[in-house]
Structure 1
Amino acid sequence: MPTDLSFLIAATTRWLTRAYPTGGGVLASALCEAQVRQAVTVAAWLRYPTSMDAALVAVAGPGGSARLDWITGSDGPAHGGTGGGDREADSAWRTWVDEVVASWAASLLGAPALAAAAVTALGTTEHLDGLAVEFRRLVAPDEHDRRAAVLLRHPDLLAPVAELHRAQLLSVLATPSAAESPDDFPEAC
């Protein structure tokens, strides 16, 4: 049974990069995807902190992208669009999108202080056991990163998705193991 959440991370990353595309070429797309993947990974690891949590979501499924598609007006199957692929193939990966993880990732991308606190809080999860992982593109994006993900770094554009479950993320980060208080985070992600 998969416990690494790679299926959920890949689908949620794909959804976010489609909902908030980059305007640049291949390099910009790669930089944008790297930032989104880091944000989604942090969010997924916080949402499902143990191997048991990961195994349970693998069995139950994360819920899919239908509500996210509706909120953002994406061209998902719920709206008759296919997002560029045939309807069945496009629907399959969308079932593995996790709405809460997408919301948390959007919150992290729009608020650097929140992203730093979330990365620090990963120490309370099982996912970092024995790993040396760096999330530089998420917590300290350079100018190329910012230009590549201008839509994904804009708090106002992210607000409809980020606000869905931001309170829950702040609650997770406010636990005694979190490095900072939620009062230190900007109200609008």
Structure 2
Amino acid sequence: MHKELSPLIAATTQWLTRAYPAGGGALDAALCAAQAHQAVTVAAWLRYPTPMDAALVGVAGPGGSARLDWITGSDETPVADEYAWRTWVDEVVASWAAGLLTDPDLARDAVTAVTSPSARRHTGASPAAFRRLLTPDENDRRAAALLRHPDLLAPVAELHHAGLLDALTPGQPLTA
């Protein structure tokens, strides 16, 4: 898709997997990260659907993780080398991704929106690219137990839920 979104997707995925980590070893961490990455990618493509949108967020920056850290109760103050990636976290994308991770119907609608024939020319993706988001198996569910827990993600998912619904409603203006 848009290369300008790569830092935003990477940072927002990292924020989600740090806020809601996998409970097991390296395999669980990788499965959890894959699910977070797929949800964040779909959310970013919905939030920034055109090359111009992606370029603008690349110039202006997405805003950072400060509010998300506060909402999730993180009291750690990032050290200098930790802070840089946090500035690329997008609060709206994290909120939308949290919504997708906790609501299978919403995830299906979002993946359909970004992989529809009209959107495919921009994203180049098919629904199969989002299998772990759409149809997680038992290993995926176990690995991402915190990441997919509706009660734990509710404070983040609810932040911009209305905007996500607007983005999925054809012909409606996008709201944050």
Report matched runs for 1:10-159 at 5 Å: 10-75=10-75, 79-80=76-77, 82=78, 87-122=79-114, 123=116, 124-125=118-119, 127-129=122-124, 131-132=125-126, 134-159=129-154
Query: CA offsets per residue over residues 107-166 of structure 1, 9 Å max, x none?
Result: 00000110000000113545324x446200000000000000001111111000000001
Q: How many residues are matched? A: 167
The DSSP-based 3-state class of the residue aligned with 1:5 is helix
The DSSP-based 3-state class of the residue aligned with 2:29 is helix
The normalised TM-score by structure 2 is 0.90
Amino acid at match of 1:113: D
Per the TM alignment, residue 175 of structure 1 is displaced from its structure 2 partner at its CA by 1.5
Per the TM alignment, residue 61 of structure 1 is displaced from its structure 2 partner at its CA by 0.3
Amino acid at match of 2:18: R
Q: What RMSD over aligned residues (CA atoms) do the two structures have, in Å? A: 1.6
Amino acid at match of 1:157: L
Q: Is the 8 A contact 2:45 2:123 kept in 1?
A: no
The DSSP-based 3-state class of the residue aligned with 1:134 is helix
Higher RCO structure (Cα 8 Å, ≥6 apart): 2
Per the TM alignment, residue 176 of structure 1 is displaced from its structure 2 partner at its CA by 5.1
Amino acid at match of 1:11: A
Identity of paired residues, percent? 69
Per the TM alignment, residue 4 of structure 1 is displaced from its structure 2 partner at its CA by 4.1
